[in-house]
Amino acid sequence: MDSIFDIFLLEAVLNGLLLGGLLALLSLGLNLIFGVIDVVWICYAELIMVGMYAIWWLHSAHGVPLMLAFVLAIAFVAALGAAMHHFIVRPVLNAEPINQLLVTGGVLFLLQALATVAFGVEFRNIGVRLPGVNIGEMSFSLSRMVAFGVAAVAIAVTYLFLNRTYMGTAIRAISQDRTIMPLMGVNPSRVYLLTSAMGGGLAGLAACLLVLQYDVHPAIGLSFGPLTFLICVLGGLGNLVGGFVAAFVFAQFISVGGFFLQLEWGYVIAFVFFIMTMFWKPEGLLSKRR
């Protein structure tokens, strides 16, 4: 009996790990944008929703091959991220943070409304369901394993880009001192635009992974948007490494907590942990020094 219990616990831990990879990817784009531009995109999860609709529209409604639909959706959401910066964020770049929140929050409702007008409130799915995988007595979802692998690669590529390339170094530098960037020949507006497009591209990639597991509907952003935001705050807003760690911590609470109690209780435990952490370390687990 004991060993069966251990195996199910191990399964819960491993499933938590898989979930953590996906959550880490979800928080990466939001965190990157905040860390560099200092504006929180409240509507980040709605960009993912747009990406999921784009894949459904291309693949299910117009017969575009799935892989091509994925690539087009990523490009589209990246362009949407750049547009979001150019038209929405740039005019309020020097405004009060509350105004910035309200503006990006407004985009959340706008995108939800547009999705409802365009596609209705029905749940749409692309009709692709990957099978489960059994390892010994444990069972895992293949789509979660794929999501974990793709997320891990995307996070690693982003990390290398930020640390090895000139543009990546400029992205890290601009968050520390925006006004002197021109002295190095860097056009700050271009760096912001590129960062926003990257954040959008990551949202598009997340859409590809989520559309394999979930149906898309206009309010789907609400089911993981708050979670994404909490993970960023837990890790210290703008701290990419902190967000990465926090995603795995959160996922373990959800998965292992859900194993000992019920799935819904996993979320409750995770949120209680979040609130406790905010009392103990309001700046996040790994705070970004200011």
Partner 1 sequence: MKPMLQIENLSAGYGGFQALFDVTLEVRAGESVAVIGPNGAGKTTLLRAISKLIDTTAGSLSMEGVRYNERPAHEVISLGIAQVPEGRRLFPRLTVEDNLKMGAFLPAARAMHDQRLQMVYSLFPRMKERRLQMAGTMSGGEQQMCAIGRALMSGPKLLLLDEPSAGLAPVVVQSIFEVIRKMSAEGYTVLIVEQNIQQVLKVVDRAYLLEIGRIRASGPAAELLASDDIRRAYLGV
How far, in Å, CA of 69 to CA of 54, rounded? 8
Q: Which is nearer to partner 1, 134 or 179 (CB)?
A: 179
Q: Is 173 in the site for partner 1 (CB under 8 A)?
A: yes
Asked if 182 is part of the footprint of partner 1 (rule: CB under 8 A), the reply reads: yes
* 279 interacts with partner 1 by CB under 8 A: no
Residue 228: CB atoms within 10 Å: 25
Least separation in angstroms between CB 175 and partner 1: 9
Does 94 contact partner 1 by CB under 8 A? Answer: no
Which of the stretches 91-99, 176-184, 229-237, 275-283 binds partner 1 when contact is defined by CB under 8 A? Answer: 176-184
> 260-265: long-range contacts (C-beta < 8 A, 24 or more apart)?
none
Alpha-carbon 88 to chain mean position: 20
Site stretch for partner 1 (CB under 8 A), options 67-75, 182-190, 256-264, 265-273 = 182-190
- Distance between CA atoms of residues 178 and 186, nearest Å: 10
Distance from C-alpha of 254 to C-alpha of 249, rounded to nearest angstrom? 9
Residue with smaller CB distance to partner 1, 116 or 165: 165
| Inter-residue contact 135 to 231 (CB < 8 Å) | no
Do the Cβ atoms of 40 and 100 come closer than 8 Å? Answer: yes
* Helix runs in the chain, H state only: 2-37, 44-55, 66-83, 97-119, 142-164, 166-174, 188-211, 221-235, 240-260, 263-280
When asked if residue 134 is in the footprint of partner 1 (CB under 8 A), the reply is no
Find the shortest distance in angstroms from Cβ 181 to partner 1.
7
Query: Shortest approach of partner 1 to residue 177 CB, angstroms?
Result: 6
Whole-number minimum distance, CB 165 to partner 1, in Å? 10
Q: Which of 61, 180, 219, 276 binds partner 1 (CB under 8 A)?
A: 180
Q: Does 281 bind partner 1 (CB under 8 A)?
A: no
